[in-house]
Chain A
Amino acid sequence: MTEDKVSRREFLTKTSLAASTAVAGAATVTGQVGAQEVEEYAQSDYSVRAKALVSVLTKKNLIDPTAIDEVIEFYETRVGPHIGARLVARSWVDPEFRGRLLSDANAAATELGIERRRDLFAVANTPEVHNLVVCTLCSCYPWFILGLPPTWYKDAPYRARAVIDPRGVLKEFGTELDEGMEVRVWDSTAEVRYMVIPVRPQGTDGMTEEQLQALVTRDSMIGAERLKSPV
């Protein structure tokens, strides 16, 4: 996102070039205009308004423009699924750690030096049980160990269906569960954030903890997929 950073700086200095034209353009959208044009008008309007928002906040000294860059830097480089993968890989190689992770994920995260901004609770997949995490009301997500959520996690279709048809969602996402398996859906409606510990894939016996970390995907820690054997 290096190019983005350059233009972001421009955003902060050259704001709202075409505010009035974009809004006027959106207002003239009629049935003769195709969906793509409507979408382009909308994006152009949002872009103008987002720049205006930051400009107003900056001019009124409500934010320091460098704070914007700090937020972006934090989410781009510091948090991501590599953090959750450390918890998972350690739980695969150290049964005692696994026990601590399942009974007190907050302490287990602290043990690995992971900075935690929310309460965390870990649930384990087994050959017989599959866990799936959702937030039906908004977009609660353990971002401090997984980074920012994917769009599908935040949008209505997944939130609507995960609780009523988890097996159908998983099938469309590429994972078919046996009828005899138990599915547990965790709706993150309150203060605790949930992570799934996926089943360690077969054929990974000789791997180091670092190699195992690389196998752990973001979506497997949401429960949206089960990890496949790397061999």
Chain B
Amino acid sequence: MNGMHDVGGMGGFTLPVRDPDEPSFKYEWEVLVFAANQAFHGPWPLDRRRFALESMPPDLYLSMSYFARWLWRFEKLLVEAGLATEEELRNPDGPMSPAADFQPFVQGTVDQTIPPKFLVGADVLVKNEHPTGHTRVPRYVRGRRGTIHLDHGVYNLPDAVAHGLDPKPQHCYTVIFRASELWGARANPKDWVYVDLWDDYLLADS
């Protein structure tokens, strides 16, 4: 979806000072949220967890730190899946109901013999689609022309994985775009942007 997460190309942000020795966590609660997230994957594939963040109201997304968003997401997904209630999360010393049954998500193997739609060197046009579900096409490449640079092999299309739909295994490529194709005259003509995109996102550009 066209969420706040899709920030590539936006102006107005201020870069922080780069600290080569910055610790991974600023607050101790962030360690807990991170570790709990790694220790419990629940019934959700990674792309379902990504979609939860993408669905955040934009003002909330920008007002919260990275791990605060993870905490928000974890609570939301637990409640949605019936694994915990809001009351339990607010009052963990109170009565606790048993968690609903769930199937842990298992990433199946994909058929690597599926043929590619495009060969390395082919010119492609990124479809100008604006789905309401999860997708991995950044807005800044939609409707833009590029060239297949690398074929990484077959992976499941995340748009289907995130929503529990039938798997859509297909080739995923690195597509190269001239920076000027994406950003116009402000781009340095020598520069390139490399973006990984699945077959379903692309059309032949003849």
Using a CB–CB cutoff of 8 Å, the interface residues on chain A facing chain B are 4, 7-8, 11, 15-16, 19-20, 23, 42-43, 46-47, 49-57, 59-64, 67-72, 75, 119, 121, 134, 136-139, 147-148, 150-152, 154-161, 163-164, 166-167, 169, 172-174, 179-192, 217-219, 224-225
Contact A184 B136 (CB under 8 A): no
Q: How many A-B residue pairs have CB under 8 A?
A: 233
Q: Shortest distance in angstroms between B72's beta carbon and chain A's nearest beta carbon? A: 9
Q: Does any Cβ of A come within 8 Å of B71's Cβ?
A: yes
Interface of A is mostly: helix
Contact B71 A49 (CB under 8 A): yes
Contact B28 A166 (CB under 8 A): no
5 other contacts beyond A63-B40, A164-B140, with CB at 8 A cut-off? A46-B68, A50-B30, A56-B96, A121-B152, A181-B190
Contact B192 A184 (CB under 8 A): yes
B window 145-159: CB within 8 A of A:
150, 152, 155, 158
Indicate whether A67 sits within 8 Å of B191 (C-beta atoms), given known contacts A164-B9, A191-B152, A191-B172.
no
Contact A154 B66 (CB under 8 A): yes
Contact with A along B74-88 (1 / 0, CB 8 A): 110010000110001
Alpha-carbon separation in the docked complex, A71 to B39 (Å): 7
Indicate whether A15 sits within 8 Å of B92 (C-beta atoms), given known contacts A71-B35, A166-B191, A184-B191.
yes
User: Within 8 Å CB of B19, what residues of A?
Assistant: 150
The 4 nearest A-B residue pairs measured at CB: A136-B8, A190-B196, A157-B13, A50-B29
Interface of B is mostly: mixed
How many residues on chain B are close to A (CB under 8 Å)? Answer: 77
23 A-B pairs with CB atoms under 8 Å apart are A46-B71, A47-B29, A51-B92, A52-B90, A60-B99, A62-B83, A63-B39, A67-B35, A67-B39, A71-B35, A72-B35, A136-B140, A137-B5, A137-B8, A139-B66, A151-B16, A158-B15, A163-B140, A173-B15, A185-B194, A190-B152, A190-B158, A191-B155
Contact A159 B7 (CB under 8 A): yes
Alpha-carbon separation in the docked complex, A71 to B33 (Å): 11
